[in-house]
Amino acid sequence: GDSVTQMEGPVTLSEEAFLTINCTYTATGYPSLFWYVQYPGEGLQLLLKATKADDKGSNKGFEATYRKETTSFHLEKGSVQVSDSAVYFCALSGESGGSYIPTFGRGTSLIVHP
């Protein structure tokens, strides 16, 4: 079945540092890829998405590029802020028998210090 693997956290950075959170996936066909973010005490919310190979999703300074050749969708941000501290989930939505089955990674906790 489909699976998503994320780097283990927590990732601890100083404010204005560069962020990379690695995500690789295994899926049949051509899934859509997503990054969700969960701030403390809140529900998951979509951060960005990409629906086909070489697409780049971006939002709030975060970017991720759908790399089919390496089956990856790494999340990056050039300069993190304290307010970016949260748990980040990589996910895919793959088609199976006409249905779209969502699969999530385990999440990576990001802690940004001032």
Partner 1 sequence: EAGVVQSPRYKIIEKKQPVAFWCNPISGHNTLYWYRQNLGQGPELLIRYENEEAVDDSQLPKDRFSAERLKGVDSTLKIQPAELGDSAVYLCASSIEGDEQYFGPGTRLTVT
- Contacts with partner 1, residue ranges (CB under 8 A): 4, 34, 36, 42-46, 49, 89, 91, 93, 99-107
- Closest contact distance (angstroms) between CB of 65 and partner 1 is 18
Q: Is 46 or 82 the residue whose CB approaches partner 1 more closely? A: 46
Residue with smaller CB distance to partner 1, 8 or 15: 8
Of the pair 17, 95, the CB lying nearest partner 1 is at 95
In which residue are the tokens 């070489």 written?
54
User: In terms of Cα–Cα distance, which of 27, 21, 20, 35 is closest to 89?
Assistant: 35
Q: Which one, 17 or 65, has the nearer CB to partner 1? A: 65
Output the smallest distance, CB 91 to partner 1, in A: 8
User: How far is residue 66's CA from residue 23's CA, in Å, rounded to a whole number?
Assistant: 10
Q: Dihedral angle at the C-alpha atoms of 14, 15, 17, 20, nearest 10 degrees? A: 90
DSSP state at residue 28: S
In the complex, least distance from residue 77 CB atom to partner 1, rounded to whole angstroms: 20
Question: From CA 62, how far away is CA 57, in angstroms rounded?
Answer: 8
Q: Does residue 98 sit in helix, strand or coil?
A: coil
Q: What is the nearest approach in angstroms of partner 1 to the Cβ of residue 110?
A: 14
